[in-house]
Structures are given as C-alpha cells and as structure tokens.
Structure 1
Amino acid sequence: MSTRARGRSHEVAGSRGGSRGLLTGSGQIAVAMMLMNVATYAFTMAAARIIGPVPYGAYFALMNLLMIVGVVMLGLQATAARRISADPTHTGQIERGILRVTARASLLLGGVLLLASPLIDHLLDLDSMPTAMLVAVAAVPLTMTGAQMGVLQGERRWRELATMYVLSGVPRLVIGLALILWRPTEFMAFLGVALGFYVPLLYGLAVLRQGREYSDTHERHGLLLMVKEAVLNSQALFAYFALTNVDMLVGRSVLDSHDSGLYAAGLIVSRAVMFLPQFVVVVAFPSMSTSRNAGRALATSMLLVGALGGACVLATALFPDLVLVFAGGQQYDEVSGLLWVFALLGTCMALLQLLVYSVLARQDRVSMALLWAALGVVVVLAATIVSTVGQLLAVVLTVDMVLLAALVPISFVKLRERSTAQ
C-alpha cells in the first residue's frame, strides 16, 4: 500500500472509530502503562531498601534531573504524533524527518550533559564523576525513544506502542535489580536505569527499520519547522510539569519541615490520581490533532478522566485510613482529613494534562502563556500568604481550577473554529 493510501486509511479509521477506537486503544495502552509504572515503582522501592538512604538520595536527585531532561523527549513525541495525525498523507516524510531531527537532538543533548558532568556532580553532591556522566548516557536513548513513540502514536499502532511502554519499565527492574544486588550503590542503580532505556530504543529501531517510502513532500514538514515545533512543545510541557511540581519546592521554604513532610505525603495521592488516566492522553492525542474528531475526542477523554478522578476522590473520602497506608502510614495521620482534597488536586492535574496536549495539538500559544502565568501566580501566592498545609493546598487547587476553567472553553472554541475552517 502506498504512503498516501495508508495515510487515507489512518484518517478514515480515525474518523470512523470515534469513541470505540479511543476505548480499544486505551485498553492496550492502559495495561502497558500499568505494567511500566508497577515495574518502575517496584525498582524504586527496591533501590530505597537495598542501597540505603544516602545513596538513594543521590539516585532520587538524578531521577528528578532526568525527568526535566525528559521534557525534550515528550516534546519530540508530541511533534511526531501531531504531524502524522494531522497530515497522514505525508507520514513517510514526517517519520524520516523527525527521526533525523531526534538523532541530532539526542546526541547534542548527550554531549551537553557530558560536558556538564562536573556541574551535575557538584550541584547534586554526588562525589562521583562516573555517576554524573551516566545522565548523558541515559539521555540519548530516552530522547530517541520519544520520536519513535510519537511515530507509533500518530499512526495509532497501539500494540507496538504498548510494547514500548512495557519495555520502558520492566527491563529497568530486571537489569537494575541485578546490578544493585551485586553492588548496592547509586551508580549501579542509575546504570540500571540508563541501560534499561536502550531496550525500548532497540525495539523501536526494529519496528521502524523499514521507513515509509514517500514521493511527495511538503515544505511545512521541513526539518527547521519540526525543530521549532519540538522546542515550542517542550517549553509548554515544561511549564505544565513545573506547575504540577512547584508546590513541593515552595512548600519546603514556606512550611516547617514537619508540615512539608505532611504535604509531601498528601502529594503521593495527588500524583497517583494524576498518573492513573495518563493512558487516555496518549490515545486521545492523535484524534485531537485532526480536524474531524478533535472536539469529540477531547470531550470523551475529559469525561473518562473526570470519571476516574471522581471515583478516586470518592474512594479517598470514604476510606481515608486505607489510602493513608499508601501515603506514608499512620505517622502522617494529621493529613488524613485532607487526602480527598489531594485526590481532587490530582484530578485537576490530570484534566490539565489532557488540555495541555489539546493545546499542543492546535499549537495555541495563548493557552501556553496561561500555563506560565498560572505558574507565576502559584509561586507568588504561596510565598506571600501560605503558612499551613491547608493554605498551600487551597492556593494550588484554586489556581489549577481557575486555569482549568479558562482552558476548557478556549479549547472547545478553538477546536470548533479549526473544524469550521477546514
């Protein structure tokens, strides 16, 4: 089948599948992401117990740095998925172009991080240059995997994409656990993570080894334009991740150590609720990038995310003591009465993530600016009026809900305008 014919088939399948396609893809991705998250969590808990508190602190700092670096990966994934979904007749050109851009970006990022190894070693207080250099070793496959996932996501190849998600977590558990049982150090723990990233990369190379042939090209898919879009997407995603993580950083400065610990325990619930419906975003994004199904895909996805989040809020309100077991235990019982509010915050975060990807799908710079504005408001308000856990939670939840209330109508109006223009 020609690239053009394949493109038409993807477009038709996307328009006819509707909610059924969303639910079918969601099932595969949900199981895969669950396995990935369980494996990742299992290795994190194993590392905490096996290597000890001091090495684990260094490992945790490295993982947080890698999360920031991973924004580039997510930006490239969103770029590939959006372009292929929006213009499937040029899948071959987009695939080859984005993989070429990603290869250069990953090597450049790896080189920068390698040169910055002394700075990383100093800032994270590692006292180990080899450990600091591993950040570069991990960043290269992590970044390249992003584009591969984006291609599969844009083409709605859910089985292969689900396999990549599983391979993003399970090999880390197997390889990392073997290494830290051999030598329980932060170097071995992070080496297991770095080596684990090469497994999905190799799988991605295998499933995409025969690039799509293409005869016609379009200037809108030029390499420079792809780079610009990837940078734009990365900064928007960075704003989202900063918004959903800045409260913990601010909390460390405005709350005492006891209260900041209580807030951190509550955030475990928020993060769990936020990540639970992440598979919905992955499956819905290609449909949100098309002109025909964007509004329906966003509405269906918001209902699904909202329903999952509402169920979590209700369960947390009814069984706070049970939820507290997973949020640190009885030593954090002072925050048990607020756990349902933390679950509500996690639901807002999940809905915001969905809307952020809708923003990326339509490349709306005004909505991106609102993300940065909300981040600034949280920092200013938290630094000036917050002195308790409840106040910090109220500030963050209020800002998130206001942002949510602003982005929802903007998103549907913009999607309607784009559909009408087509």
Structure 2
Amino acid sequence: METLRVLQKRLSPEQVFMLSVIVVNGGNYLYNLLLGRILGPEAFAEAALLITLLLVLSFLGMTFQLTAAKFAVIFSGEKWQAFKNNTLRLSLLFGISVGILMLVFSKQLQQIFHTESNLMFVVFAFGVPLYFFMSLNRGIYQGRQEFKSLSVTYQTEMWSRLLITLAILFILPWQPGVLVAIGILVSFFFGLYPSEIKSLKIDKTLKLEKYDQNRMVKFMVLTACYELTQIIINNSDILLVKHFFEAKPAGLYASLALIGRVVYFAAWMFVMLLLPTVVKNHKEGKPTAPVLFKYVAYIGALALMIVAVCYLFPDFVVNIMFGSEYLEVSHLLWKYALATSLFALSNIFAYYFLSLDQYVPVILSGLLGMSQIGLIVLYHDSLNTVIIMQIMAMSILLLVQILYFLKKEVLKTKISNQ
C-alpha cells in the first residue's frame, strides 16, 4: 500500500490513468482468454458474441461520454448544470429504448446468431440503461480531466465482471451464454462507482439557450453517426463470421480477433487523453496538430511492435493465450493485427477532427464502414479472405484521413500567410 501511495504522489493524473487503462485492458484480455480456455471454441463463440455486443454498447455509450467530455470543457455554472440535465434525460430515454428493443427482438437475435437460448439477450437488455448512465458519468470525469476517478470506474467494472463471471461459471449449472450475460449485467452496477449521481437531476427549470442546445445536439448526432461507423467497422466481421461460418471456425475467428485487437484497445487510452486536450488547446488558441502527432506516433510504434510479434511468433502467441485448440488460425494473426492497427491509426485522426467540429471524416468513415460489410458479404470463402477484405478497407480509410488532414493544414497555412 505504501508503494501505491508513493506512486500516486510521483505520477501525474494522466499517467495514473494510462497505467489504469493498461491494467483494465490486461484484465479484459485475461477475462476473454480464460473464457476461451474454459469454454472451448464452440461455447466460446456465444460468449464472444456477448462480448461483441458489449463493445457495440460501449460505442453507443461513447456518444454520451464524448459529448459530456467536450462540453465539460466549454460550459460552466448554470449552463453546465442545464447541460447535465439534458444529457441525463437523453441517456435514460435512449438506454431504455435500446433495452426494450433488445427484449422484444431477443428471439430473432437467437435465430440470427444461432444461439442456444434467447435468455442471454434478455439478461443483457436489462443492463443497457445502466451502461448509458455509466458512460455519461465517465464523460463528466473525462472532460474535467479527473482521471483518477475515471480510472476507478473502469477498474470496478472490469474486476467485478472478471471475478463474478468466473465464479458463477463454476458454481451455476446454466448455459454459459446466460452466465456471461449475468456477469456483464452485474459489472455495470459496480462501474457506477464513483459517480456524479448527486449532481445529476432531471430538472426541467434549467434549460440551455437555443444556440447551445443546437450546438450540443449537432455534436451528439454527428458523434453518434461516427460511433455507428465504429460499430460497423469494429464488430461487423465477428457478427458476419458468426452468421456465415459454423460454430468452430466462428469461435476460432473470435479468438483471433481478441488477440489482434490489442492495439485498438490500447488506442482508446490515447483517445481519452486526446479529446479534452485538443478541445482545450483550440479554445485557448493554441496549436492542436502537435497533440495529434504525439498520439499517432505512440499508436504507430505500438502497432508496429504488435504486428511484428504476431508475424514472427504466431504459434507461441495463440498457444499461450488460448491453447493448442486454436493453433489452426495462428498464421492469420499478423494479418488481423495489421487490419486493426490501420483502423486504430485512422481512429485517432477521426476523433481529432471531431474534437474540432470537423465532420467530413464521419461521412468518409461511414462509407468505408459499409464497404467493409459489402466486401465481406461478397467475399467470405475463408477466414483469410474475410481479413484481407478488412485490410483493404482500412488502408483506404487511413489514406483518406491523412489526405483530409494535409488538405486542412495546407489551407490553414495559406490563410495565415495572407
């Protein structure tokens, strides 16, 4: 404990948050790896489906988190309180609506994804409103740059999901998919600590002015559109493989995806730090491009290292993480890591543009996200082909983002020289 206190004194809040994200990502990976080993490829395919749904939910929740993070920097006083009231109402309305839709269509989801039961979707649906409230809470901490409190909310959610899920898998004789869904649901309650519940009230007397209301809604809608493209790009491959392939190859692909996405999950740490910093610099008239360059360099170096390890030691990585049952897809690991690395880099550019209220990349990402789905639907004769289609789509996306950035910088330079 003394060591932890000394570390907290020596490290900045940003460094504490970065270390916390590394621990959370490690814990989430341990969670996935243990599920893969305990359940085996066929049963793991259902667990991976729920994990994918959790990722989908996290992207939707990020709409509220990023909106709160952005306007926590811009608003203050009664305007800030009115903003919190508005977003609380919206998050509850949206969360309850999505939860009800999942409940109503649980049987259809069972048929689409060939699961043993629809009960796993029913359990998951009850956690959706909680998740949106949790995301709003995290956005407030992120925008105010209270990174220690933000770190704790991620830690409590991750550790509770890991420990509770493993415990009930060994104790309760129910279907694995249902037990994993219960673990996810309970973890949302733990993720609400610490929270800003006392400062969040549904008070209709406090309202934003029309200009600020329109500004908030515009950012929220466009962020939601971009998060939708993130859902499409980041999760459509797993869902489509689950639909087009048998249970075993679907489970093998899910293990491949979880290993290959390590660079993408690491990139989220930098997105969390990038957005409030860029908004603050822009507000104060300081340069924002150096912030982008710094985080692109971090992600680029990390991506290069991970792809190299996956290329040189694929059997070792797959065997140590999931076991010998999954070795038949090890030769595909570096290709999947390359696809997610390209996506992670383009993602840094996209959130940079969103921070500056530049929304053209949202449209571009949407178009390329839909093209990825189209390519996989047309070409899915093997898992290798599915991955090649993603590499093609993500290469084009990153190239377009870079060209857009260069165009903006050239235009900015011309204006400043006039």
Q: Could you say which TM-score interval applies, normalised by the shorter chain? A: 0.7 to 0.9
Q: What is the deviation of 1:236?
A: 1.2
Alignment of 1:5-404 (within 5 A): 24-47=12-35, 57-87=45-75, 90-120=79-109, 123=112, 131-185=120-174, 186=176, 187-205=178-196, 218-222=209-213, 226-249=216-239, 266-290=256-280, 291=282, 292-326=286-320, 328-329=322-323, 336=330, 339-384=333-378, 387=381, 390-404=384-398
Deviations 1:196-254 (A, max 9, x none): 1011224214585699xxx99543332x6545533331221121231233344555788
Residues 336 and 172 of structure 1: is their aligned pair in 2 closer, same or farther, counting only changes over 3 Å? Answer: closer
- Any unmatched runs of 5+ in structure 1? 1-22
What is the CA–CA distance in structure 2 between the aligned matches of 1:408 and 1:356, rounded to whole Å?
10
Q: Please state whether the residue corresponding to 1:244 is helix, strand or coil.
A: helix
**Aligned-residue identity in percent:** 21
Q: 1:44 to 1:87 in 2, by over 3 A?
A: same
Deviations 1:79-125, CA, capped at 9 Å, x for gaps: 11122234567544433332332233323333443444454455556
Instruction: Give the C-alpha shift of residue 401 in structure 1.
Output: 1.7
For structure 2, the residue ranges without an aligned partner over 5 or more in a row are: 1-10
Against the structure 1 CA distance between its residues 297 and 210, is the aligned structure 2 distance closer, same or farther, given a 3 Å change threshold? farther
Which position in structure 1 is the counterpart of 2:8? none
- Is the Cα contact below 8 Å between 2:310 and 2:333 reproduced in 1? yes
Whole-angstrom distance in 2 between the partners of 1:49 and 1:136: 26
Amino acid at match of 1:168: E
C-alpha contact (below 8 Å) 2:83/2:207 kept by paired residues? no
What SS class does the counterpart of residue 201 from structure 1 fall into? coil
Change (3 A) 1:103 1:330: closer
Give 1:174 deviation, angstroms. 2.9
Aligned-partner Cα distance in 1 for 2:375–2:100: 38
| Secondary structure, aligned partner of 1:169 | helix
Kindly provide the amino acid, as one letter, of the partner of residue 139 in structure 1.
V
- Supply the RMSD in Å over aligned alpha carbons: 3.9
SS of 2:145's partner is coil
Q: In structure 1, what is the Cα distance between the partners aligned to 2:187 and 2:89?
A: 23
Using the TM superposition, give the Cα deviation of residue 293 of structure 1 relative to its aligned residue in structure 2, in angstroms.
4.7
Q: 1:191 to 1:260 in 2, by over 3 A?
A: closer
Q: Give the whole-Å Cα distance in 1 for the aligned partners of 2:195 and 2:116.
A: 35
| 1:40 Cα deviation after fit | 3.2
The letter of the residue matching 2:183 is G
Paired residue type of 1:234 = A
Q: C-alpha offsets along residues 262-321 of structure 1, whole Å, 9 cap, x if unaligned?
A: 765543442122212321111111123341353222111111111111222233344344
Is contact 1:26–1:280 with CA below 8 Å preserved after alignment?
no
Cα gap change, 1:413 to 1:60, in 2 (>3 Å): same
Question: Are residues 209 and 264 of structure 1, via their aligned partners in 2, closer, same or farther at CA, if it must alter by over 3 Å?
Answer: closer
Which segment drifts farther, 273-282 or 48-57? 48-57
The 2-side partners of 1:153 and 1:209 are apart by 16
How far residue 152 of structure 1 moved from its aligned partner, in angstroms, is: 0.8
Alpha-carbon deviation of 1:387? 4.7
In the TM superposition, what whole-angstrom CA distance separates every residue of 1:45-87 from its partner, at most 9, and x where no partner exists? 4555667777655444334334333332111111111222345
Residue 379 and residue 173 in structure 1: after superposition, are their counterparts in 2 closer, same or farther (change >3 A)? closer
Change (3 A) 1:194 1:268: closer
**Distance (whole Å) between structure 1 residues aligned to residue 115 and residue 330 of structure 2:** 35
AA aligned to 2:219 is E
| Conservation of the 8 A alpha-carbon contact between 2:48 and 2:254 | no
Name which of structure 1's ranges 312-321 and 230-239 shifts more when overlaid on structure 2.
312-321
Count of residue pairs the alignment pairs up? 396
Give 3-state SS (helix, strand or coil) of 2:60's partner: helix
Provide, for residues 130-151 of structure 1, a one-character-per-residue CA deviation record: whole Å limited to 9, x for no partner.
5443222111111111111111
